[in-house]
Structures are given as structure tokens and as C-alpha cells.
Amino acid sequence: MGNAVLSTAVDGLLEPLSRCLDAESAKRVIEFRIEPAAQARVDYLAEKANEGTLDDDERSEYEAFIDAADVIAILKLKARRQLECNGS
């Protein structure tokens, strides 16, 4: 499945969820940041990916991080839109 198709599918799944967010929850989603230890692991895997030295397990882990980051980015965008629509 291509990234655009996956992104559209995830977008459709998250739309109803984003409408459940009150202003405070939407702000907390927008402010969410990955834990430093997890970010360090992502950075390490990204460096190995750029060097072409990821093993199969690391590649799976890195792809999972990327997929999760995509979901988080879409949810953050939807939270921002929710706040804008509600005038918060």
C-alpha cells in the first residue's frame, strides 16, 4: 500500500476521533513530544538507515516509528483544525 493511500486511510480513521477532543485535549495532543530516549533510538536507526546498515529487526522497528510518527502528525493536524473550528 502506498504512503498516500495509507495516509488517506489513517486520516479517515482519525477524523471521528479528533471530533471527540475538547479544547484542553486538543492542546495536549498538539504539545505532545516523543520521549528523549525514544527520540535517541529513532535518530540512531535513521542514521543506520541512511548508511544502509539496518538489519531486518532494526528496519521493522524504524518503519514502526515512522508509521507512528505519521499517525501522530495527522492527529496533531486534526487537533489544530478542531481548535480553529471551535475558536479556541
Give the three cell numbers for residue 11.
486520516
Q: Convert the pLDDT of each residue in 58-79 to its tens digit.
A: 999 999 999 999 899 999 999 9
- H runs (alpha helix) in the chain: 3-18, 23-31, 36-51, 56-86
Domain that holds residue 56: 3-86
**pLDDT surpassing 60 at residue 1:** no
Query: In which band, very low, low, confident or very high, does the pLDDT at 13 lie, cut at 50, 70 and 90?
Result: confident
pLDDT at residue 55 in the model: 97
Q: How many domains does the structure of the chain reveal?
A: 1
Task: State whether residue 87 is helix, strand or coil.
Answer: coil
Query: In which band, very low, low, confident or very high, does the pLDDT at 20 lie, cut at 50, 70 and 90?
Result: confident
pLDDT at residue 88 in the model: 60
Inter-residue contact 19 to 81 (CB < 8 Å): no
**pLDDT surpassing 60 at residue 54:** yes
Based on C-alpha coordinates, what's the Rg of the chain? 16
